[in-house]
Amino acid sequence: MTEELMDYPLARECYYRPSARTAQLREAGPISRVRLYDGRSTWMVTGPAEARALLADPRVSNRSDFPDYPVMDPKLLQMRATREMAREVEEGGFAGALFGIDPPEHTRQRQMLVPKFTVRRVAVLRPELESIVDEQLDVLLAQGSPGDLVSAFSAPVPMRAVCAYLGVPYAEREEFEPIVRQLFDPAMADVAVERLNAYLGKLVISKEQNPGSGGLIDDLIAKHVTAGELDHTELIAFAQAILVAGTVTTSSLLALGTIALLDNPGQYATLVEDPDLIPGAVEEILRYVSLVEQLARVATEDIEIAGEVIKAGDGMLISFAGANLDPSVTTHPQELDVTRPPTHHLAFSHGIHHCLGRNLARLELEIAFRGLVTRFPTLRLAMPASQIPTYVDGDVQRVACLPVSW
């Protein structure tokens, strides 16, 4: 019965981790149903094997223009990103950029970008990322104790890193940084998209006239724009998607991950004593924080899975937060333990929409946490964790400021 279903989404009781009630979603089995804000129900997938199978299934669509595409907040209906994520080609546009589209458009786009995000390609950035981290830790040190980890470190490090990768001048951040923040405000999102497109459009034209900075935008112009495989509109959409997705998520993970390490006894100290644990600790933080708790999808054909039949047109929520509690992923679902990294968590999704920037994100987080524990071994929260001001952008948990002492 619909009235017996759990309401979803679940508000976080502790902002740096999903609700403790997430475990209850798993009690009905790997696939069940939940009730959304408008009373409609949708499929909820919490089993990691089932989540991976559906994310890799060509009968599952990422397009938001299906009638039963799950929307969890009515405010999101105002946003162009939800309302028009799949524009019609005959209207003079393209299907979308990376998010919210299906093959063959998604395949064509991803083939252009995947070679730019390999482990080897991203590793070239390590010296520059290490310099960025050191410089921002200098800023934190100069603030004096207590300082704000967000303004000095967790916000600028990802923004500088993605700007360096794209070839966007960080010195011009006053032009685009406020716009990026507005993209998650439903009342301002449409205008913000237009303003960011205008900035990136000017940048693309400038790069065509003066090529050679070596960033991703320059590479795409040289290889794909000049060959007629990519036009300005789509290139700008690529740049916007990477600039936004690559900064908001990593910034939040740095801040929330630091709070989690400091608020769970012994976790930060363990990394201070043995920084070589940090690569595994990053995976554990990704699992434990589960910043992106779920992704919405729609079945385009009937799908039989785990004893259920998901009908064509049915919406579904793939719960990364739920899957990341599974025994096949972790031995300690409700605990943060940097000495026991998870196995195959779903923080970066799976299948054809497996996070394109995951190698860059991992490298940033590894270098950032290593720099933090090495240079600030006595770091501690300057106020109770429960009092740290946080807010939600879209469905991403953010930290407004993070006072720390050392």
pLDDT digit of tens for each residue in the chain (406 aa)?
445 899 999 999 999 999 999 999 999 999 999 999 999 999 999 999 999 999 999 999 999 889 999 988 877 665 544 444 433 333 333 346 778 889 999 999 999 999 999 999 999 999 999 999 999 999 999 999 999 999 999 999 999 999 999 999 998 988 888 888 777 776 787 888 889 999 999 999 999 998 877 799 999 999 999 999 999 999 999 999 899 888 999 999 999 999 999 999 999 999 999 999 999 999 999 999 999 999 999 999 999 999 999 999 999 999 999 999 999 999 999 999 999 999 999 999 999 999 999 999 999 999 999 999 999 999 999 999 999 999 988 778 999 999 999 9
- The interaxial angle of helices 232-263 and 105-113, nearest 10 deg, is 70
Can you state the angle between helices 358-375 and 278-289, rounded to 10 degrees?
110
Hey, what's the torsion of the CAs at 364, 246, 143, 405, to 10 degrees? -70
Q: For the chain, what is the domain count?
A: 1
Cα–Cα distance measured from residue 202 to residue 129, given in angstroms and rounded to the nearest whole number: 26
**Parent domain of 276:** 2-405
Going by DSSP bridges, is the β-strand pair 403-405/294-299 parallel, antiparallel, or unpaired? unpaired
State the CB neighbour count (10 A cutoff) for residue 141: 14
Cα torsion angle, 210, 212, 213, 219, sign: positive
Q: What pLDDT is attached to residue 84?
A: 43
pLDDT of residue 96: 66
Residue 29 confidence (pLDDT): 95
> For residue 154, what is the domain's CATH number?
1.10.630.10
pLDDT of residue 184: 73
Determine contact, residues 215/224, Cβ cutoff 8 Å: no
DSSP 312-330: TT-EEEEEHHHHTTSTTT-
Residues forming a β-bridge with 392: 397
Q: Report how far residue 405's alpha carbon sits from residue 41's, in angstroms, rounded to the nearest whole number.
A: 46
Q: Residue 333 has what DSSP assignment?
A: T
Q: Which of 289, 285, 247, 288 is nearest to 373 (CA)?
A: 285
pTM, entire model:
0.92
Whether the Cβ atoms of residue 296 and residue 316 lie closer than 8 Å to each other: yes
pLDDT at 90: 33
Please report the sign of the dihedral spanned by the C-alpha atoms of residue 51, residue 53, residue 58, residue 59: negative
The angle formed by the CA atoms of residues 90, 96 and 99, to the nearest 5 degrees, is 155
pLDDT of residue 178: 86
pLDDT at 87: 39
Instruction: Return the residue matching tokens 């069940």.
Output: 32
Beta strands in 99-234 (DSSP E): 147-148
